[in-house]
Amino acid sequence: MRTSESTIAMNIKIKRVYEAYAKNDGYRILVDRIWPRGLSKRDAQVSLWLKTIAPSTELRKWFDHRPDRWQEFRRRYIEELTGKKEELEVIRGKLTTTQNVTLLYSAKDTEHNQAVVLLEHLKKIFYECKVWRNPRRIDLEATDKTHRSNTPQFWMMHHYFGWCTTFLEKLVEKSGVCCEHTAILLYQNASRMLNFQLR
């Protein structure tokens, strides 16, 4: 059975490669361009070294793990990621065939590193591709024809749902935060307001 994208988003995480291996790490992908210093391949227990998804050498050297350059680094790295569709698809493929995927990095700073940006970007991709385009999403135009389209309750829900949709889209666009669970709850609430089931 194919794993749902909302579940997939919960099954991907990041972890420092020097931390102890855990069974629930699942498929471990190293996302550094340079192999971690002082760590053997046996101890690292890396399933895949996806070095090409790491920031370019120029960007990595410019960033130099300086927190004051974090926002600009994040912006530039996301730009680079838009051209790495094959690498992103590799990660996506592992997520659909394994229970968990862990993105590994070697940086000491656990809050300002490329794995943090990559994780946010992947979740945003899952969100845009599978939440807003999910076949189970309520089609308001179709609903208008088959459900209480002339009732005040329908139009109240219609405007409420539209406002929430716009809000979530802006939130994801500006912050990169994955909001798929919030969106799913909105769909469920909209369904209850109209008293019908999502197909």
The Cα-based distances of 160 to 126, 145, 193 in angstroms read: 24, 19, 11
Comparing 20-29, 44-53, 150-159, the range with the smallest average pLDDT is 150-159
Q: What global pTM score does this model have?
A: 0.62
Residue 155 in this model has a pLDDT that exceeds 60: no
The Cα-based distances of 161 to 28, 59, 140, 156 in angstroms read: 39, 41, 9, 9
The 3-state DSSP class for residue 29 equals strand
10 Å Cβ neighbour count for 152?
8
Supply φ then ψ for residue 186, to 5 degrees: -60, -40
The 3-state DSSP class for residue 26 equals coil
Q: Quick one: pLDDT at residue 75?
A: 96
pLDDT tens digit sequence for 121-154: 998 877 655 443 443 444 444 444 444 445 555 5
Task: Kindly state the average pLDDT of the residues 25-36.
Answer: 95
pLDDT tens digit sequence for 62-81: 999 999 999 999 999 999 99
The 3-state DSSP class for residue 50 equals coil
Helix axes 114-126, 70-81, angle to 10 degrees: 50
Give the amino acid at 34: I
Which single residue is written with the structure tokens 């469920």?
188
Q: Quick one: pLDDT at residue 165?
A: 59
End-to-end CA distance of the chain: 18
Q: Quick one: pLDDT at residue 126?
A: 72
pLDDT tens digit sequence for 80-119: 999 999 999 899 888 765 568 999 999 999 999 999 999 9
